[in-house]
Amino acid sequence: MDYRGILDTIHAEVAPHVGVGRVASYIPELAGVEPAQFGMAIVDLAGGVHTVGDARVPFSIQSISKLFGLTLAFQLAGDTLWERVGREPSGNPFNSLVQLERENGKPRNPFINAGALVVTDMLCSRYTHAENALVQFTGRLAANPALDYDARVAASELRTSHRNAAMAHFMKSFGNLHNPVDAVIDAYCKHCAIRMNCIDLARAVAFLANGGTNPWTGERVLDASSAKRLSALMLTCGTYDAAGDFAFRVGLPAKSGVGGGIVALLPGECGICVWSPALEDSGNSHAGSVALERFTDLTGRSIF
């Protein structure tokens, strides 16, 4: 596969879309990010790295961290995790409280904020500093032990986390949060503030493209069946309430974040990350979504 030529074509075609949309200004520290940036990286399972644009610029991964938190929690809890978190698309914004009361405090899936808070609660029950455990785990997946979270972004997010705190208290009233709300919110804001670049993230998601085995260390992260199931959740729930349209346009398992990043994977071939901070109303990167759609068009590769 001529990834170099494909990336160059994508870069040229996506140029008119870069900067279209709005950055995630509800997190004050992200409000000042320059929207007219674009980077993309493909890391194949042999370790080949192919990049274009701002692929080496670090950014706040935000909700992409939910994928790594879910993976670590699944290692600890296995299928008992689904007793506390569902596996269905929500059809509502990622920070909505609407379904929680009707469904007795059980979030629809682990990729909306309520679900990620329950997953973080599971990590808090196991680790004294859940955010550090997740940073270290993600660093192993990305073959980058120097990863860390941005303390300024985490503090900025914590100051504006009232809706997340409301969801956490509500779920605690149903018995679906076991640790103090403040501790869970603190850990959640810190792991959303992990800083990575496109290369880091393309490497970090490659274990799912490799049937659950980390290609860089040989570590069995998940068994093949569990890797398949988490990839399926990415396809159906990973891009907020636009997951159906994203699957229709792109056809790859993906997880997005309001920092402008989207990770995706092509089973048996590669991990992919694209970053452009300006967002569609759904919270997905506009230029990033277009770039991934063009990737599957140009390569003829998708899961379908």
* Domain extents in the chain: 3-60+195-299, 63-192
Confidence (pLDDT) at 255: 98
Flag whether pLDDT at 101 surpasses 90.
no
Average pLDDT over residues 79-83: 97
**Is 63 part of the annotated catalytic residue set?**
yes
Partner residues linked to 41 by β-bridges: 51, 273
| pTM across the whole model | 0.96
Average pLDDT over residues 190-198: 98
Average pLDDT, the chain: 96
Kindly indicate the confidence band of residue 245, based on its pLDDT and cuts at 50, 70 and 90: very high
User: Mind listing the pLDDT tens digit for each residue in 8-46?
Assistant: 999 999 999 999 999 999 899 999 999 999 999 999 999
223 C-beta neighbours (distance < 10 Å), count: 12
Predicted local distance difference test score (pLDDT) of residue 94: 62
Q: Which two tokens stand for residue 270?
A: 């590669």
172 is catalytic: no
Q: Which of 258, 263, 274, 290 is catalytic?
A: 258
What's the pLDDT at 64? 98
CA distance 153 to 30: 7
pLDDT at 109: 95
pLDDT digits (tens, 9 = 90+) for 247-289: 999 999 999 999 999 999 999 999 999 999 999 999 999 999 9
CATH number for the region 63-192 comes to 3.40.710.10
Q: Would you say residue 53 has pLDDT above 80? A: yes
Of the residues 3, 23, 52, 63, which is catalytic?
63
Catalytic option among 240, 256, 282, 289: 240
Q: Catalytic: which of 66, 106, 190, 255? A: 66
| Calpha distance 178→105 (Å, rounded) | 13
Pairing of strands 270-275, 39-44: antiparallel
Q: Catalytic site residue 258?
A: yes
Q: pLDDT (tens digit, 9 = 90+) per residue, 118-163?
A: 999 999 999 999 999 999 999 999 999 999 999 999 999 999 999 9
Per-residue tokens: 97: 């409280």
The arithmetic mean of pLDDT across residues 161-188, rounded, is 96
pLDDT of residue 139: 98
Q: Which of 90, 188, 276, 285 is catalytic?
A: 188
The helix (run of H) or strand (run of E) holding residue 42 is strand 39-44
- Its CATH class, for the domain covering 3-60+195-299, is alpha beta
